[in-house]
Structure 1
Amino acid sequence: MAQIVRKNFDDADETRPFQDDKGRLDVIQTSGGAVGRAVFEPGWRWSEHVKPLAGTDSCEAAHTGYMVSGRMNVVMDDGTSEEYGPGDFMQIEPGHDAWVVGDERVVVVDWTGFGAYAKSSG
């Protein structure tokens, strides 16, 4: 029998807040793994608002996702950078920092990198 699934990020299986009320990650568990919707508020930066939770020098998650709204700059540990905006597909390897560009909230849906993202390392 075929299966059909419907879930809503507004009623996520788990929500992980970022430090200083700079956003959150809503996680839905699927048979294919975790899918996340991240909401990054203006002023959010990985190295300030997630690094204390992750306990690593840079983001060690790989990301495959879709930018719904806002603008985000990503800089790899080697200095390579890219700015993403609404409608962009993103694929980012581990070893990077990222931050919101401008005054608009960033919303990203990611289907590879948010399973353990923003979980406390302790």
Structure 2
Amino acid sequence: MNHMTVRSFDRPEESVDLSGHGHRDMVMLDGTPVERSEFDRGWRWSNDVKPIAGTDSCQTHHLGYCVEGHLRVHLDDGTDQDINAGDAFEIPPGHDAEVVGDARVVLVDFGKAFDNR
């Protein structure tokens, strides 16, 4: 049967505070998590999420879109890549990331980003 589903990030099914430097909100669409993350100036995965995740680097595969801001991703192999507003991205497991500049970063992630808290 065809159906349409609409969920609002104003009423997320799950929300995680990231040490006061941001938060993640998640809604489910047809069994698939969709996440909206907001990272404030000064946010870095290794400082704000590593203690929650319990791993040395983020081990989640990300597929998403950057709504606003500038994020720098540091892969475990030493490669760095910048993600800016308007960019679609795919990030493999094994990375750190940080907000660049004074503007917050807003990302929409399609997949299982909540698996690595």
TM-score by length of structure 1 reads 0.92
Provide the C-alpha distance between the structure 1 equivalents of 2:78 and 2:54, rounded to a whole number of angstroms: 21
String of CA shifts for 1:2-31, please: whole Å, max 9, x gaps.
Answer: 200111111111110001x10000000222
Unaligned runs of 5+ in 2: none
What is residue 21 of structure 2 aligned with on the other side? 22
Cα pair 2:71 2:105 within 8 Å, conserved: yes
What is residue 54 of structure 2 aligned with on the other side? 55
What is residue 79 of structure 2 aligned with on the other side? 80
What is residue 66 of structure 1 aligned with on the other side? 65
Q: How many residues align?
A: 117
What is residue 110 of structure 1 aligned with on the other side? 109
Code of the residue aligned with 1:7 in structure 2: it is: R
Provide the C-alpha distance between the structure 2 equivalents of 1:60 and 1:75, rounded to a whole number of angstroms: 13
What is residue 35 of structure 2 aligned with on the other side? 36
TM-score by length of structure 2 reads 0.96
Unaligned runs of 5+ in 1: none
> 1:115 Cα deviation (Å)?
3.0
Code of the residue aligned with 1:101 in structure 2: it is: V
- Aligned-partner SS, 1:58: coil
Code of the residue aligned with 1:26 in structure 2: it is: D
Cα pair 1:16 1:26 within 8 Å, conserved: yes
Provide the C-alpha distance between the structure 2 equivalents of 1:32 and 1:82, rounded to a whole number of angstroms: 30
Runs of 4+ aligned structure 1 residues displaced above 3 Å come to none
Q: Percent identity?
A: 44
Code of the residue aligned with 2:106 in structure 1: it is: V
